[in-house]
Amino acid sequence: MNIIQCNDSKEVALISYRIFKEQLIKKPNSTLGLATGSTPILLYNELIKGSQLNEISFKKVNIFNLDEYVGLNSEHKNSYAFFMKEYLLNFIEIEDNHFHIPNGTACDLIEECHRYNNLLSSTKIDLQLLGLGENGHIGFNEPNTSFDSTTHLVELTENTRKNNSIYFKSINDIPTHAITMGISNIINATKILLLAIGENKAEAVYNLINGPIDVKFPGSILRNHPDVTIILDKEAATLINKVK
């Protein structure tokens, strides 16, 4: 595991941008796995700038997002489909049918998990971007999710709902369920890039790097992957540095 420590979130974004740029130059028709949440926003700004400067192009790229809330359609401002439009897709040139995300309003959610999983099985993600939950989740794979899991319906933990409540008017508006890529889908990516920003991630980062590889802490599985880069700001690296 390659661990890069940065001074601040801006530097995290710039270094991650370089990794994306390298990937897209090496393989213009790359398949990217992308995440939502506060962590990747500065990186998405850099990707937008890079594509406007013609340093990178998304014209041949396919994107698969990690997860989507159940019950929110793509026009709902809290859906992850909307998030992706607002923070990236509206500002880059990408084919409409090259962006993939689970449909959280499908009539048959189990069928939707199969559909998304079949799509994932028909491709190979070249570069998978991840954030990290305070409880160690990757995607919405909450603690005790099997490492063999594929795309599935998940009940969100209270901790995850609480942490995501800043984006909603009230805690009651936060969906209780989501569809997420499974851990085996994530691990199947050729290269994984995990970003963590802020002191509230310091314990999770410590556990990811030093704790046991255990389903109780889903992110720990990344230690078994041959090509993982973790990029941290100073705050997220606080505990790993104390131990050194």
Which sequence positions are flagged as catalytic?
A: 67, 135, 137, 142
| Phi and psi torsions of 118, nearest 5° | -65, -40
- Assess contact for 195 and 129: CB atoms under 8 A: yes
Pick from 13, 35, 43, 56 the residue near ligand F6R by CB under 6 A.
35
Q: In whole angstroms, give the CA distance from residue 20 to residue 120.
A: 20
Number of residues that bind ligand F6R (CB under 6 A): 14
| Residue 38 sits in the site that holds ligand F6R (CB under 6 A) | yes
104 binds ligand F6R per the rule CB under 6 A: no
The CB-of-53 to ligand F6R minimum distance in angstroms stands at 26
Per CB under 6 A, 182 contacts ligand F6R: no
Give 51 or 160: the residue with its C-beta nearer to ligand F6R: 160
Compute the least distance from the CB of residue 134 to ligand F6R, in Å.
Answer: 8
- What phi and psi values does residue 229 have, to the nearest 5 degrees? -115, 130
Which of 133, 175, 182, 219 forms a contact with ligand F6R (CB under 6 A)?
A: 133
Q: Tell me the window of 21-29, 99-107, 118-126, 127-135 that interacts with ligand F6R (CB under 6 A).
A: 127-135
| Binding of ligand F6R by 135 (CB under 6 A) | no
Residue 28 in contact with residue 60, Cβ under 8 Å?
Answer: yes
Q: How far apart are CA 194 and CA 173, in angstroms?
A: 28
- Comparing CB distances to ligand F6R, the nearer of 61 and 195 is 195
Q: Which is nearer to ligand F6R, 8 or 25 (CB)?
A: 8
66 binds ligand F6R (CB under 6 A): yes
Q: Determine the Cα–Cα distance for residues 69 and 156; give it in Å rounded to an integer.
A: 9
CA-to-CA separations, 130 to 76, 95, 133, 222, in angstroms, rounded: 23, 23, 10, 11
Q: Which residue type sits at 24?
A: L
Angle of the 80-87 helix axis to the 41-52 helix axis, nearest 10:
40
Interface residues toward ligand F6R, by CB under 6 A? 35-39, 66-67, 131-133, 137-140
